[in-house]
Amino acid sequence: MHTNTEINHHIMYKHAKEKISGTLQEFSSLQEDTIQTIMEEWKILIKETKPQYLKTILGIADVNNIRSLSEEEWNYLKIEMEQSFQVKIRTGVLVTGEEQKNRDTTWWTGKKKLQSENYYLTNYLSFMKRELPQKVLETINDDTDIIMNNLADPEIESFSRYGMVVGHVQSGKTSNYASLICKAADAGYRFIVVIAGGQNNLRDQTQARLDEVFVGVNYSGVGHLPGFKREKMPVSLTNAKNDFKIETARAQGTTNFDNMNQPILVVIKKHTKTLDHLLKWLDIHYKDQVDKAMLVIDDESDYASINTKKEEDPTVINEKIRLLLQKFKKSAYVAYTATPYANIFIDHNAKNEDAGRDLFPSDFIYALEAPSNYFGAEKIFNKDNEKYVVDIPDDEVVYELDDEIIYPPNNTPFVIKHKKDYDSELKKLPESLKDAVRLFVINIAIRSLRNQKKHNSMLIHISRFTGVHIKVKELVASYFKDLKEEIKAYGNTAYPYKFTHLKAMSDTFSTRLKDIEFDFDTILKEICLLIDSVQIVDVHQKAKIPLAYRKDIQSNVIVIGGLSLSRGFTLEGLSVSYFLRTTIYYDTLMQMGRWFGYRIGYEDICRVYLTDDMNKKFGFIIDATNELIRRLNDMQDENLTPEQFGLAVQLHPDSLLQVTARNKSKYTEDMYLEMNLDGQIKETRWLSNLNEDLDANEKLLKETIRDLQNGSFEHEETESHVWKDINKKIIQKFVGKYRLYNNDPLGLKSRMPIEFIKDYIDRVNIDWDVVLYNGKSETIFHADSIQIQRQFRTVKEKHGYYEVANRQLSRANPERIIMPAAFKKIKSHEMREKLLKPVLFIHALELEDTDANRINAVGFSISFPISKDPFVNNVKVRINSVYKKQLEEAYKDEVGEENVYEDE
């Protein structure tokens, strides 16, 4: 443990940091050299001021804690200030409905905000100055002004508004809706309900946050501000430990909204019982509709709120949220989510006689921008992401247990797809998880050496079953016990590396953290001081000890869990994640990723341990989500509506999995699916590895080139061959005869929806352009007079196919080759907007597998133009029983049994 002297040593750094941060908060905008200038001023002040005066300036209780800061510490301060304050952020993107366009959408900023005292908002902004840069706070303020304008003035006789706010996972959506709640309270909304996810820990965490920034419970948080007024303190019918109960609400004496001047806050878990209790309490006191304005914030709104059944018999949670909205004459419903796919699939015309209209965001959709210091999917899972992602070796995991394979009892790998009793099969930890545990211990030491005396967390997420969590905790605890004993016994000796665990820890350091400013000897000394502080906690419904991040002591925790950690819950100081879950659904997968967020001062040491398959899935999600947001931008420019946006998303090729999930396709093997390929590029990332298929495709390419011979010209820069205005029959023949590896009828995994493409070629009467790329391989492809160098690609050999590395068969901006000079520097998706005809790109390839074998192969990609009259494929697809089972299991894995949203 650290001594009191060492802890006191940190006090000076902490107070200096707070003062410098406070100074920077006062700037409405920072110039390029502002941070450096302020740092230099404080450096001189601290150096030249006598300790007794400096004690008062810095607010340090004991003069003995006054000391000089080292150059290294000043450097850390500068890095943290730059990462915290040199932040770029823009206001979001708004799409509004037809009725909304004719309403007063300036009522808040043009009238109410100017007339109101804005008491709750002022408190919020004053308190949050301590936590967020001024620029971020200003953007939150601007964003929530726009959202408020798209709600309704509480003075209107009656109204209902339905909107959605799209943020990024762990990017600060709570800060956004906390600001919105404060403004709603200032405007006159009297009943505010926050539906905070499906787990107790998330509800409790959300309640604690709103108590701090809105309520001011026990004079903490905003309650500690000089301007806090006890008589205006919101009445909270829930608290940080208790969900809504009728008897608790009754004890508050809150039965008549007409007699109350304060807003009422209710933070509830998204569960049938709590919603039922709330509805009953309202019915007891109000037989008819309540004549006060209510705001409902539905956090993680894509989870459990969506009706996945027929409208005449909606799911229970969906129905109860709708009934709650019907209980008030004036209601505003705002769905918050980072993964809006499910919300977009709500039928915007759906209505039930008893429950009222469904929750489709028909009035507005608002997409938030993430600040530049956000540690998100695009940064972690870019195509060259070796820095942050650690591959879990193939020999340490199996996707599904094969009864025919008998694994050695001491070398059982983790099984990704497992049953509830899998814990009995677990014998030992794979080496990659031991490596992750060692890295976490190293990271705690590095942050401590950097004077970041804050919470540290590691996430282990390999199952949704409680029994497995408990078993994994036992195995991790056993390994950590051995590791800790060796560290304590030999960490401070002259030759620690001759001991097994310490040698392994040194290897982990040199492999995972190559550019860290400390050597391992320094880190090991710090580890010896803090190793006793590390806890191992499992988080699930049966856990005896809850995960808690206290404000009076630093927590260093290895957290093991599943569904309880999958959505919304924030793991403080998360730097190492070990993740083995899998699903085919974008939204579920993204929400499982608790590693997104803000990593000020320690982003460089964060690592995510994943299988190669999961790594690629996250990469696909980035592409699809970026496409979705781009489409939202386009629709704002075109003044289109949420209904039109919903249709566009539903028809997007990469959203097919959402169609299948949300329409409960598990009950049928025949599915009618629609797709719009406009503006898309699709390519054969999976190539059959059967010799007969490789040979057949090679032969087909030569036949196709003979068919194309007339009209070819060689591209001057690349020596590739281009054919213009080609009759679609040649394309039809090539695509129809091409031997595609495909046991994926919907193109959900392979990203090649071949049946839709064939249908497009058949039904769209338009000529095509064709490109045969010249590459850089030494191997030559030739057909008659056409000769090119093959394109070199590295691949991984899977069961039945080769998978192209980096998720990309075509290189960046393949459309550039046929673009006029004026368009050659724009992005690929912008080029597709300029296309007049679809383009077939043919790739004569030389593949290199992991064993350095070289294989000739043929692949293709197609870029589709955007039509004035979008062509929509409507194809009936018959899925096989295996695929049906995968969809069914993935759906069950996402939500558990019907209306039960807890870990098993």
CA distance 457 to 480: 15
Asked if 270 and 322 sit in the same domain, the reply is yes
Residues 262-291: tens digit of each pLDDT:
999 999 998 999 999 999 999 988 888 999
Categorize the per-residue pLDDT at 663 as very low, low, confident or very high, splitting at 50, 70 and 90.
very low
The pLDDT of residue 770 is 94
Domain match, 564 and 519 both: yes
pLDDT at 356: 76
Q: What is the DSSP letter of 130?
A: T
In a domain, 885, yes or no: no
- Retrieve residue 73's tokens: 């510490």
CA distances 138 to 117, 173, 180, 227, 544, Å, are 19, 15, 13, 21, 42
User: Which structural domain range is residue 67 located in?
Assistant: 4-85
Residue 408 and residue 508 in one domain = yes
d(CA 330, CA 474): 52
Strand partners, 843: 859
Rounded mean pLDDT, 40-61: 89
522-526 average pLDDT score = 95
- Measure the CA–CA gap between 577 and 437, rounded to whole angstroms: 10
Confidence bin at 672 (pLDDT 50/70/90): low
Say if residues 730 and 738 touch (Cβ distance below 8 Å): no
Averaged pLDDT, 666-680: 63
Q: Span 738-766, mean pLDDT?
A: 79
The larger pLDDT score, comparing residue 816 to residue 373, is at 816
What does the pLDDT average to over 123-149?
Answer: 90
CA distance 743 to 748: 10
Quick check: is 799 in a domain? yes
**25 or 786, greater pLDDT:** 786
In a domain, 390, yes or no: yes
Spatial contact of 685 and 796, defined as CB atoms under 8 Å apart: no
- Band (892; pLDDT cuts 50, 70, 90): low
Contact 772, 704 (CB under 8 A): no
**Strand pairing report for 607-610 and 389-391:** parallel
pLDDT tens-digit readout, 711-730:
666 666 678 899 999 999 99
Distance CA 643, CA 347 (A): 9
Q: Residue 92: is its pLDDT beyond 90?
A: no
> Which residues are CB-contacts of 843 (< 8 A; sequence separation ≥ 6)?
773, 791, 809, 810, 858, 859, 860, 861
Residues 313 and 403 in one domain: no
Identify whether residues 74 and 99 lie together within a single domain. Answer: no
| Joined tokens for residue 47 | 């150096």
pLDDT higher than threshold 60 for residue 664: no
pLDDT at 903 over 70: no
Distance of alpha carbon 174 from alpha carbon 616, whole angstroms = 29
Is residue 667 predicted with pLDDT exceeding 60?
no
| pLDDT in the model for residue 95 | 92
Count of C-beta atoms within a 10 Å radius of residue 297 = 27
Burial (CB count within 10 angstroms: exposed 0-12, middle 13-18, buried 19+), residue 514: exposed
How far is Cα 278 from Cα 248, in angstroms, rounded to an integer? 11
Of 416-430, 467-481, 640-654, the least confident? 640-654
In-domain check, residue 162? yes
pLDDT at 318: 87
Beta bridge partners of 195: 268, 298
In the block, tokens 């064939």 appear at 758
**pLDDT value, residue 713:** 65
Grade residue 222 by pLDDT with cuts at 50, 70 and 90. very high
Assess whether 13 and 112 both reside in one domain.
no
Reported as a pLDDT band with limits 50, 70 and 90, residue 101 is very high
527 and 596 fall within a common domain: yes
Q: Does residue 80 sit in the same domain as residue 193?
A: no
> What is the mean pLDDT of the segment spanning 413-437?
84
> What is the rounded average pLDDT of the residues 10-32?
81
Number of domains observed in the structure of the chain = 4
CA distance 271 to 541: 14
Residues 687 and 581 in one domain: no
pLDDT value for 670: 55
The pLDDT value recorded for residue 65 is: 86
Q: Cα separation of 430 and 427, whole Å?
A: 10
The residue from 68, 85, 102 where one domain ends is 85
Residue 675: its pLDDT value, please? 73
Residue 52 has pLDDT above 70, yes or no: yes
Residue 478 in domain: yes
DSSP-based three-state secondary structure for 14: helix
Please tell me what DSSP assigns to residue 876: E
> Whose CA is closest to 307, among 877, 902, 888, 895?
895
When pLDDT is averaged across residues 439-459 and rounded to a whole number, the result is 94
SS (H, E, C) 816-841: HHHCCHHHCCCCHHHHHHHCCCCEEE
At which of 365, 385, 419 does a domain end? Answer: 365
The DSSP-derived string for 662-706 is HTTGGG-SEEEEEEE-TT-EEE--EEE--HHHHHHHHHHHHHHHH
Question: pLDDT > 90: what percent of the chain?
Answer: 38
| 816 burial via Cβ count (<10 Å: 0-12, 13-18, 19+) | middle
User: What would the mean pLDDT of 573-592 be, rounded to a whole number?
Assistant: 76
Residue 901 to residues 197, 566, 569, 818: CA-CA distances in angstroms?
9, 12, 15, 52
Q: For residue 769, give the nearest of 737, 728, 733, 808 by alpha carbon.
A: 728
| pLDDT for the residue numbered 405 | 45
For residue 494, what are the contacts with CB-CB under 8 A and spacing of at least 6? none
Return the number of other C-beta atoms located less than 10 Å from residue 796's C-beta. 15
User: What amino acid is encoded at 281 in this protein?
Assistant: W
Q: What is the mean pLDDT of residues 54-67?
A: 88
Report field, pTM of the whole predicted structure over 0.85: no
Read off the pLDDT of each residue in 365-379 and give the average, rounded to a whole number: 80
| Contact predicate 233/226, CB 8 Å | no
Q: Who has greater pLDDT, 11 or 592?
A: 11
- For 596, list phi and psi in degrees, rounded to 5: -75, 155
Residue 603 inside a domain? The answer is yes
> What mean pLDDT do residues 378-394 have?
77
> How far is Cα 675 from Cα 782, in angstroms, rounded to an integer?
36
Average pLDDT of the residues in 571-588:
79
Strand (E) or helix (H) holding 430? none
Q: Which of 297, 173, 178 is nearest to 598 (CA)?
A: 173
- Which pLDDT band holds residue 751 (cuts at 50, 70, 90)? confident
Q: Are residues 415 and 454 in the same domain?
A: yes
869 vs 219, which has greater pLDDT?
A: 219
Mean pLDDT of 435-462: 94
751 contacts 654 by C-beta, under 8 angstroms: yes
Contact 645, 93 (CB under 8 A): no
Query: For residues 471-482, b (16+ Cβ closer than 10 Å) or e, as one string?
Result: bbbebbeebbee
pLDDT band at 871 (very low <50, low <70, confident <90, very high): low
Nearest to 508 by CA among 429, 433, 574: 433
Residue 409 clears pLDDT 50, i.e. is over it: no
Q: Where are the beta strands (DSSP E) in 570-661?
A: 574-579, 597-598, 607-610
Candidates 145, 158, 164, 148; CA nearest to 97 is 164
Q: How far apart are CA 673 and CA 675, in angstroms?
A: 7
| Residue 370 falls inside a structural domain | no
Does 587 score more than 80 pLDDT? no
Residue 745: predicted pLDDT: 56
Q: What is the mean predicted confidence (pLDDT) over 798-807?
A: 81
pLDDT at 671 over 60: no
In terms of domains, do 272 and 407 share one?
no
Strongest mean pLDDT among 584-593, 608-617, 747-756: 608-617
651 pLDDT band (50/70/90 cuts)?
Answer: low
Evaluate whether residue 617 is within a structural domain.
Answer: no
Category of 345 on φ-ψ map: left (φ > 0), alpha (ψ -120 to 50) or beta:
alpha
**What does the alpha-carbon distance between residue 87 and residue 107 come to, in Å, rounded to a whole number?**
31
Select from 55, 85, 115 the last residue of a domain: 85
Given a contact cutoff of 8 angstroms between Cβ atoms, the answer to whether 645 and 651 are in contact is no
Same domain, 64 and 145: no
Identity of the highest mean pLDDT range in 169-178, 393-402, 409-418, 429-438: 429-438
Taking a C-beta distance cutoff of 8 angstroms, is the pair 615, 389 a contact? yes
DSSP character at residue 413? P
pLDDT value for 403: 47
361 phi and psi, to 5 degrees?
A: -75, 65
- State yes or no: pLDDT of 406 exceeds 50: no
- Residue 29 confidence (pLDDT) above 80: no
What's the CA gap between 572 and 535, in Å, rounded? 14
pLDDT for res 700: 96
pLDDT band at 743 (very low <50, low <70, confident <90, very high): low
Measured in whole angstroms, how far is the alpha carbon of residue 320 from the centre of its chain? 28
Query: What's 354's domain CATH number?
Result: 3.40.50.300
Higher pLDDT, 64 or 625: 64
pLDDT the model gives residue 665: 38
- Going 741 to 743 to 746 to 751, the CA torsion angle's sign is negative
Q: How many residues are listed for the chain in this entry?
A: 904
- In this prediction, residue 179 carries a pLDDT of 97
- Residue 894's contacts (CB-CB under 8 Å, 6 or more residues apart) are 583, 585, 588, 661
Give the chain's mean pLDDT.
Answer: 82
